[in-house]
Every structure is written in C-alpha cells, then in structure tokens.
Structure 1
Amino acid sequence: WIWHKDQVLEPFDLIVLPGGFSYGDYLRPGAIARFSPIMKAIVKYANAGGRVLGICNGFQILVESGLLPGALRRNASQKFICKYVHLRVESNQTPYTSRCEKNAVLKIPVAHADGGYFVEPETLKALEDQDRIILRYSDAAGRSDATTNPNGSVGQIAGVANAEKNVLGMMPHPERCADPLWPDRDGRYIFDSLIHSS
C-alpha cells in the first residue's frame, strides 16, 4: 500500500484508489484527498500512461484531481445507497474490461451517498464519441434508462475513462464481489481483465 503522505511512487503495474470516506468526506467527497502529497505523483504516473483505478471515493478523488472530467453529486434520492446493481459494459477496449463482452451485464454492488455523475452536455457527447463511457447502470437484460439509474448519474454512467483509457473511475465496488467463495463474483471480470491485459 501507499501512504497518503508519501511523495514518491515505486514502480507499480496498477494504482487503486479504493472506496471509503477520505477525510470524512468533509467539504465534498475527494476534495481534500486530492491535496494529499501522494496525489502529485499519482497524477504524474497517470499522465505518463500508468494505470489508475478509482473505486467509489477513489473515483471522486480522480475527478477532483482532474484526471477524469465531471463531478460526483449527491444521489438523486438524497439517501445513502447500498445494494447490488446491474452494469452494462459499454466498451471492452480498456485494460479494465478487456475480458468482458461488449454489452455484457455485470452484477456489482454500490455503496455511496454522492454517486450521481455529472458532466455538461458537450462533455457527455465527447465522452460518447471517444468511447470513454465504460459502464452504464442497466437492468439484468441490459436495458439502460432512468429507471435503472440508482443515483441520478447523467446518461446512467457508472464508469468513465480518460482519453488514453489507462485511468478508470467507477462508483460500483468490484472488490466486493470477486472472491471465489462468494455467490456473486462478477467483480472478477474487472480484475481478470487487468491481470490478462498487456
């Protein structure tokens, strides 16, 4: 693991910014964590092509640090959500989804109060045009619309990548459903993709 006060990164194959409530989510989620000393090194690492996966609060930190566009807002319900959701794989052209079929549906849990992803319409169009929307909330059959959206994210977006696709932010928690002993293990597709990607 890397300590938030560190300023130098060792050579890594992947950096994961996990979920949690960094700095108590004061001000807004991820807003204070982006000023942690290690973040300068992580931004430099990502800009040089290093792989960075932000999960939940990690996604919020990536947005606050400028590695991903947009903002994460309070859930439309104004309530904390903790449940399994379905996700449709929009793109498998990333190291995080390369072992998934395009349009495959994954069942992965969410647990957040501030997961409503927001970008302006012109940014949303750019994300769509550049194949940077990686995961969308859907139903079990892969239908994606406002009724399948747990938090009010624009375009039902659950995961988005940077232009180079080496940085992925996602609100769902694949690490919570990847163990072989658990009944639901769709999170393993994310990690299997990382293991097998070049």
Structure 2
Amino acid sequence: MKVGIIRFPGSNCDRDVFHALELAGAQPDYIWWNQRDLSDFEAILIPGGFSYGDYLRAGAIAAITPVIDGIKDAVKEDKPVLGICNGAQILAEVGLVPGVFTVNKNSKFICEWADLKVQTTRTPFTSMYKKDEVIRMPIAHTEGRYYNPEIEKLHDNDQIVLSFESENPNGSMEAITGVCDEEGLVCAVMPHPERASESILGSDDGLKFFKGIVNY
C-alpha cells in the first residue's frame, strides 16, 4: 500500500512516520506542500512538526497551500487521511474534521507520555484496537486543547477517536485528543503514534495506527 507523507517547511516528524509505516508493511513516500496530484497514493498522512513555524497559529499557513486541494480530492475518493499533532491542527483548520485545537490551558508546550482511551474502532487507524482499550503514547504540543461547541454531535456520530484517560494535561473539552469526520476516514490525533511504534521507544502501542492503514 502506497502512503503519501506530506512535507511542509517546518515538518519534523516525517522521517519518524516513514519508519513507522515501513514497520507496518506500507510503502511510504514523501509529498511536498506544492504538489496537487495525489492520485498515486492510497492513503495520506500529515505528520507533526511546526509547519511554517506555527506563524499566526498552528496550521494556518499550511491550510492554504496547493497540497490541501490534493488532500481534499483524496477524501472525496474515500482514501484514509491521518493527521498527527500539527497534521491534526491542519485538518481542523481546513474543516476536514470538526472543532479546533487551540492553545493549551497553561499556555505552555507540553511534552510527556499519556494514557489514552480508544473511543471508537470504526476508523482505519483504530480498527485493530478494542473499544475502551487504554494505550500509551507521547504528546508534544502547545496548541492541542480541543474545543468544539457542537460536542453532542460528536457523541451522536461516534466521532471521538481518543481521549486522555488518567489526566487532561492540556485542558481539552471532555479530555478529547482525537476526532474523525462523519465517515471515519479522516482522523486527527494530537498524540504521536509514530513515537510509540517500537518497544525500544517505551511503547509500541502506536504501531497499530499504521498497521490499520495497511489492513484497510
């Protein structure tokens, strides 16, 4: 399965994601921000980092680059799209997932391991987990606090993907730290599954995110 990894100026988790996808049995390749035609790829992944230095706000400039048109076309073709951290912020910025990821409650950069509950398994990325399974992955963000004034709609449509289990480090609404679109094919998560893809890193709980893409 050929998976495209979007690269923006400031992306810094692209190689980590590349490695995790290889571990999962996928065939990853890089896509630059100015590429519109993504038809060669069966799935798209937007990695973490600081696209355009998070100028204005995280994801704001990346959201108006040519590659976004290609991502929207991929969504129309029912191809899985995963945004991690900065990638999640970008997907929210362009309206492909509901809500926003805004400045943490303490206004500081948070970098730590977190216990997470899998709230739904209907996305390709969480299909290999069990509902309510608690997994461990790291977070690293300044703008990761999730907010959505239509929170009940998320519950009704089963669009909550991950939530913090033991504590809510960034003050997210209902401790939510991952959401998907109504179809479940576009997923935005703030934790970093690629940083938990091998036991030597402290956890391999995140590898199933990438195996799920291949399985799908």
Between the aligned partners of 1:183 and 1:28, the Cα distance in structure 2 is 31
Task: List runs of 5+ in structure 2 lacking aligned partners.
Answer: 1-29
Match in the other structure for 2:125:
96
Q: Superposition pairs for residues 17-56 of structure 1, below 5 Å?
A: 17-56=46-85
Between the aligned partners of 1:48 and 1:162, the Cα distance in structure 2 is 14
Per the TM alignment, residue 153 of structure 1 is displaced from its structure 2 partner at its CA by 0.8
Between the aligned partners of 1:180 and 1:154, the Cα distance in structure 2 is 31
Per the TM alignment, residue 185 of structure 1 is displaced from its structure 2 partner at its CA by 1.1
Any idea what the Cα deviations from partners look like across 1:51-105, whole Å, max 9, x if unmatched? 1000000000001111011111110011100000011011111111111011000
Percent of aligned positions with the same letter in both sequences? Answer: 42
The alignment status of 1:130 with 2:186, answered yes or no, reads: no
Match in the other structure for 2:215:
196
The alignment status of 1:159 with 2:178, answered yes or no, reads: yes
The SS at the match of 2:191 is coil
Normalised by the length of structure 2, the TM-score is 0.84
**Equivalent residue for 1:67, pick from 96, 113, 127:** 96
Match in the other structure for 2:202:
183
Normalised by the length of structure 1, the TM-score is 0.91
- One-letter amino acid of the counterpart of residue 169, structure 1: A
- One-letter amino acid of the counterpart of residue 186, structure 2: V
Asked whether the equivalents of residues 168 and 175 of structure 2 are also in contact (C-alpha less than 8 Å), the reply is yes
Per the TM alignment, residue 188 of structure 1 is displaced from its structure 2 partner at its CA by 1.1
Between the aligned partners of 1:183 and 1:56, the Cα distance in structure 2 is 19
The SS at the match of 1:150 is coil
Task: List runs of 5+ in structure 1 lacking aligned partners.
Answer: 140-147
The SS at the match of 2:115 is strand
Between the aligned partners of 2:208 and 2:79, the Cα distance in structure 1 is 20
Between the aligned partners of 2:203 and 2:74, the Cα distance in structure 1 is 33
Match in the other structure for 1:173:
192
- One-letter amino acid of the counterpart of residue 148, structure 2: V
The SS at the match of 2:138 is strand
Per the TM alignment, residue 165 of structure 1 is displaced from its structure 2 partner at its CA by 0.5
- One-letter amino acid of the counterpart of residue 89, structure 1: V
Match in the other structure for 1:8:
37
Between the aligned partners of 2:55 and 2:202, the Cα distance in structure 1 is 35
Any idea what the Cα deviations from partners look like across 1:119-143, whole Å, max 9, x if unmatched? 10xx21011111110111102xxxx
Between the aligned partners of 1:183 and 1:112, the Cα distance in structure 2 is 19
Per the TM alignment, residue 180 of structure 1 is displaced from its structure 2 partner at its CA by 4.8
RMSD, matched Cα:
1.1
The runs of 4+ residues in structure 1 deviating greater than 4 Å are none
Between the aligned partners of 1:47 and 1:155, the Cα distance in structure 2 is 30
Asked whether the equivalents of residues 39 and 74 of structure 2 are also in contact (C-alpha less than 8 Å), the reply is no
Segment of structure 1 superposing worse, 97-106 or 183-192: 183-192
